[in-house]
């Protein structure tokens, strides 16, 4: 069934450290001046907006990489890639882009430094011509991030933080970045982008959480299509945010049986109550929307409003028949060192969700990979089997 909406509208360790330092300096400087590489960052391009073709279809590919993000925007022969899946998605990403005829990528955007958003980008950088690389205002000491930075350095590319209030043009369409100030957690450093093609607007949110949503709220307006933040986690998609953007369609990039139970029921209930039509990669695999400039549509069938179910089939509920030792062993086997978790500076455990009751008394909650957290004990509440 086809749905359509018509409206008006950077030996080794030393080398790596040096590269990371160069990148940090580059990012800082770029936040103060306009990058020449950005081609069309200037507001002088505002006059182009009047010539946008309303009958030209742009394809937006939400690539099924499991519980990770990868989005390809195809405007004629001009491509933008937002995130690139996880580490084990490198081959998938290269194959998918090749199948779409991609040779050059005008804008390569890593919304933030978590592995499930940039894990496959080093392979993309190695295999395609990249014109501009945009990153969020933050960094990480993980292998995935170092691989990405090294791949860029090997091709003479320097990432920069895009300037707010500038339009970055593909062909006729463009995107704007709503936030570059960073945040208290890696997720809240996520770049949020609004993409415009004619009268159509699409919002890409990375893993932005409620703090970021609140920051950008004054800049938001109604959109046709929302990429739901953080795979449908309850830590994102506040009601105030959803009311402001009021999407007709929402896409959730989630993996079947993922360890987080994404999407969470709280998020799905909000979308259902608002009457938002949802499309999920765990149900529809690759999701391709087309934007006509005066409406968006997809052939992907409507998705369900059900919460995600973990591989053990219990959506994270405790199993009293499983001993604590067996449970811990199972957890260690199930979750990898670059899984995104929440933790406190002095705590012993890491948590899968920010509002876990085990964190309720904590004044400072951090976010990052298990490797970054340096914690060895998964929370029994979050990861109970």
Task: For residue range 143-190, list pLDDT tens digits in order.
Answer: 899 999 999 999 999 999 999 989 999 999 999 999 988 778 889 999
Q: Would the pLDDT of 88 be above 80?
A: yes
Q: Is the pLDDT assigned to residue 94 strictly greater than 90?
A: yes
Q: Are residues 258 and 364 in the same domain?
A: no
Helix (H, G, I), strand (E, B) or coil at 31: coil
**Distances from the Cα of 89 to the Cα of 7, 86, 302, 356, angstroms:** 36, 5, 26, 29
**Same domain flag for 209 and 329:** no
Distance CA 177, CA 41 (A): 11
Say whether pLDDT at 61 is over 80: yes
Q: With bands split at pLDDT 50, 70 and 90, how would you rate the model's confidence at 304? A: very high
Same domain, yes or no: 283 and 347: no
**pLDDT score of 25 more than 60:** no
Q: Answer yes or no: do 229 and 376 share one domain.
A: no
Q: Are residues 288 and 195 in the same domain?
A: yes
One domain for residues 64 and 160: yes
- Domain ends where: 245, 280, 298? 298
Q: Is the pLDDT of residue 254 over 50?
A: yes
Report the percent of the chain where pLDDT is more than 90.
Answer: 59
Residue 82 has pLDDT above 80, yes or no: yes
Asked whether residue 7 carries a pLDDT value surpassing 60, the answer given is no
Residue 50's pLDDT is what? 35
Can you give the pLDDT at residue 129?
Answer: 98
What residues make up the domain containing 22? 3-298
What is residue 337's predicted lDDT score, i.e. its pLDDT? Answer: 58
State the pLDDT confidence band at 8, using cuts at 50, 70 and 90.
Answer: very low
Residue located via tokens 């505002």: 46
- Looking at the structure, tell me whether residues 28 and 167 fall in a common domain: yes
Cβ neighbours of residue 329 closer than 8 Å, sequence gap 6 or more = none
- Tell me what the mean pLDDT of segment 262-277 comes to: 97
State which of 258, 281, 298 marks the end of a domain.
298
User: What pLDDT, on the 0 to 100 scale, is given for residue 75?
Assistant: 97
Q: Is 90 exceeded by the pLDDT of residue 79?
A: yes
Residue of 319 and 360 predicted with greater confidence: 360
Arithmetic mean of pLDDT, 310-323: 43
How far out from the chain centre does Cα 156 lie? Answer: 25
Report yes or no on whether pTM surpasses 0.75: no
**Residue 352 CB contacts under 8 Å (≥ 6 apart), including other chains:** 259, 260, 316, 341, 342, 378, 379, 382, 383
Whether residue 369 is found in the same domain as residue 332:
yes
Residue range 348-379, pLDDT digits in tens:
678 888 878 778 777 788 888 887 787 777 77
Residues 129 and 173 in one domain: yes
* 167 and 257 part of one domain: yes
Residue 318 belongs to a domain:
no
Give SS3 for 298.
strand
205 or 336, which is more confident?
A: 205
Number of domains in the chain: 2
Q: Place 70 in a pLDDT band, splitting at 50, 70 and 90.
A: very high
What pLDDT is attached to residue 358? 75
Residue pair 217/244 in contact (Cβ under 8 Å)? The answer is yes
Same domain, 128 and 253: yes
| Domain membership flag for residue 188 | yes
Whether the per-residue pLDDT at 16 is higher than 70: the answer is no
Structure confidence at residue 317 (pLDDT): 34
Angle (deg, nearest 10), helices 13-30 and 143-154: 80
Do 193 and 329 lie in a common domain?
no
Q: Is 315 contained in some domain?
A: no
More confident residue, 325 or 277: 277
Supply the pLDDT for residue 345: 82
Residue 229 included in any domain: yes
């Amino acid at each position: 069934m086809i749905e359509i909406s018509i409206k008006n509208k950077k030996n080794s360790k030393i080398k790596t450290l040096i590269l990371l330092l160069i990148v940090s300096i580059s990012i800082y400087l770029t936040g103060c001046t306009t990058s020449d590489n950005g081609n069309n960052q200037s507001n002088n391009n505002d006059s182009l907006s009047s010539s946008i073709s309303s009958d030209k279809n742009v394809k937006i590919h939400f690539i099924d990489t499991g519980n990770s993000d990868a989005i390809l925007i195809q405007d004629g022969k001009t491509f933008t890639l937002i995130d690139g899946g996880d580490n084990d998605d490198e081959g998938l990403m290269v194959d998918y882009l090749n199948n779409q005829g991609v040779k050059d990528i005008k804008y390569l955007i890593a919304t933030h430094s978590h592995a499930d958003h940039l894990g496959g980008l080093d392979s993309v950088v190695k295999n395609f011509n990249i014109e501009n690389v945009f990153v969020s205002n933050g960094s990480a000491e993980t292998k995935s991030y170092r691989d990405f930075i090294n791949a860029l350095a090997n091709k003479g590319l320097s990432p920069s933080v895009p300037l707010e209030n500038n339009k970055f043009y593909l062909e006729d369409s463009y995107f704007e970045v709503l936030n570059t100030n960073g945040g208290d957690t890696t997720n809240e450093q996520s770049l949020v982008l609004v993409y415009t093609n004619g009268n159509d607007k699409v919002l890409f949110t990375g893993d932005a959480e409620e703090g970021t949503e609140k920051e950008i709220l004054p800049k938001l307006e109604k959109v046709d299509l929302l990429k739901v933040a953080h795979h449908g986690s309850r830590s994102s998609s506040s009601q105030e945010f959803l009311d402001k953007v009021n999407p007709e369609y929402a896409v959730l990039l989630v993996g079947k049986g993922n360890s987080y139970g994404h999407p969470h029921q709280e998020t799905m209930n909000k979308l259902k109550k608002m009457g938002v039509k949802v499309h999920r990669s765990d149900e529809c695999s690759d999701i391709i929307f087309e934007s006509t400039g005066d409406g968006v549509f997809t052939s992907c069938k409507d998705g369900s409003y059900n919460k995600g179910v973990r591989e053990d089939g219990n959506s994270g509920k405790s199993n009293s028949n499983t001993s604590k030792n067996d449970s811990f062993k199972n957890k260690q086997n199930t979750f990898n060192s670059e899984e995104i978790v929440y933790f406190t500076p002095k705590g012993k455990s890491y948590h899968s969700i920010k509002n876990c009751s085990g964190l309720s008394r904590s004044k400072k909650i951090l976010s990052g990979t298990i490797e970054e957290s340096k914690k060895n004990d998964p929370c029994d509440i979050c990861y109970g089997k």
